[in-house]
Amino acid sequence: LQVALRQITEAAAHTLDAEAAGAWLYDQSRSKLQCLDQFHRRNHQHSQGTQLAVADYPVYFKALEEDRTIAADDALSDSRTREFVGSYFAESGITSTLDAPVRLGGQTVGVICIEQVGSVRNWTVEEQNFAASLADLVSLAIEASDRDRTQNALRQAEQKYRSIFENAVEGIFQTTPEGQFLSVNPALARIYGYATPEELTSNLTNIRQQAYINPQ
């Protein structure tokens, strides 16, 4: 995900000829946005870690939920962004911003922020559409990253289960309702007097008739 975000922020800043571009995502509590990557075109450097609390900028975060893009030509006076004048804007000299919400499964999970310093900039419709497409790319990158994490977790769970299954001293098995073994661990094979699970399953093909005194 981090590699994808670096590529997206660089593409955003260079293509739109902007001073900076950042990718921000909500934390788990959705109480603040966290900058995962910010590209500064002037010195060609990346940074991260800045946080913006939802409680400090209620108007902006409301617009983030409602608008497709927040094109603030004059960010210092735009009602949606002027909450940042005394804090975030003052630190970096930002005059114009173009923000596109990142949405995943119908929920806003973050934002792409394009920032201009110096003279005020009028964002064109084409530039706004481009920012929105970048936000879509971020959502795709998040989906891919989540898929990878899920697959890794499943692999780890499978390995852990397999280790327990193979090394348990108790007999563990799974059968069909008709009485055929689906899986058998080494302990059960030993208990039944077989050298391997494979030998057990090839010899015991009907548990009800072969393994129990009372078939019921």
- For residue range 196-211, what is the model confidence (pLDDT) as tens digits? 999 999 998 888 788 7
Q: Coil, strand or helix: which one is 37?
A: strand
Residue 187 pLDDT exceeds 90: yes
Between the two ends of the chain, the Cα-to-Cα distance in Å is 56
3-state SS class at 178: coil
What is d(CA 132, CA 137) in angstroms, rounded to the nearest whole number? Answer: 9
| CA angle (85, 89, 90) in 5-degree steps | 85
Between helices 125-167 and 2-15, what is the axis angle to 10°?
A: 170
- pLDDT tens-place string over residues 4-38: 899 999 999 999 999 999 999 999 899 999 999 99
- Amino acid letter at 13? A
Contact 63, 147 (CB under 8 A): no
Q: Is the pTM of this model over 0.85?
A: no
* H or E element that contains 99: strand 94-104
Give the pLDDT confidence score for residue 1 in this predicted structure.
86
Check residue 127 and report its DSSP letter: H
Q: 130 pLDDT exceeds 80?
A: yes
